Amino acid sequence: ETGVTQSPTHLIKTRGQQVTLRCSSQSGHNTVSWYQQALGQGPQFIFQYYREEENGRGNFPPRFSGLQFPNYSSELNVNALELDDSALYLCASRPRGANVLTFGAGSRLTVL
Amino acid sequence: DQQVKQNSPSLSVQEGRISILNCDYTNSMFDYFLWYKKYPAEGPTFLISISSIKDKNEDGRFTVFLNKSAKHLSLHIVPSQPGDSAVYFCAATWGNYQLIWGAGTKLIIKP
């Protein structure tokens, strides 16, 4: 097991730009979720992918989109960045049917 | 609308004593509850969980209690150790779907 790895660990963007965050899920975990954690808050669910299709979405606008690939990797794309998008973005994976998520260390995004 | 609440932002406990972290929820549909621990610059790490059909689950020094009538759960750590200093998150789910998280409690273990 290699765990969940995310890249980049930190990045700075300006308002209006686009960003892509990447995640490599734990081997055998076919369900991946993305969460946004603002400072001082708990993680907020963005969306979930299973077998390369989105099968659940939280209260986030369409400019937040994702992809899941057959090799268990996934991406989170955010268009038209806003200042409030500054947060820690967490990727998590699990085998289908399991309740326990395994998290990566996150990507810290700062929007100026 | 906060469905999962952790009302104590921080908690300080003497090493060797019991740490009790509390969590309240409002959604009666939740059927599974989890506690995660988070160190700075790391992702959350799963600690212990409990199904809604149980009222207690124990794993070594960690015990989670669930009171469904009060919509309350608590995490007991005994004895507390310096390595337990971290932020603890309570999370809940139903239908094996998204996790709903509390805001976290920062636990500080004093030597």
CB contact under 8 A, A43 and B34: no
Cβ distance B55 to B66 under 8 Å?
Answer: yes
pLDDT digits (tens, 9 = 90+) for A16-43: 999 999 999 988 888 999 999 999 899 9
Element spanning B73, H or E: strand B72-77
Which residues in chain B have Cβ-Cβ distances shorter than 8 Å to A103?
36, 43-45
Q: Tell me the C-alpha distance between A83 and A87, whole Å.
A: 10
Which residues in chain A have Cβ-Cβ distances shorter than 8 Å to B36?
103
Give the confidence band of B12 by pLDDT, cuts at 50, 70, 90. very high
**Which residue do the tokens 């636990």 mark?**
B107
Task: Pick the residue of A29, A36, A99 with the most B CBs within 10 A to test the interface with B by mutation.
Answer: A99
**Chain A residue with minimal CA distance to B48?**
A100
Mean pLDDT over the full length of chain B: 95
pLDDT digits (tens, 9 = 90+) for B64-110: 999 999 999 999 999 999 999 999 999 999 876 789 999 999 999 99
Cβ distance B23 to B73 under 8 Å?
Answer: yes
b vs e for A16-31, b when ≥16 Cβ sit within 10 Å of the residue's Cβ?
eeebebbbbbbeebbb
At A1 the pLDDT is 52
Give the whole-number percent of chain A exceeding pLDDT 90.
79
**Chain A residue with minimal CA distance to B106?**
A40
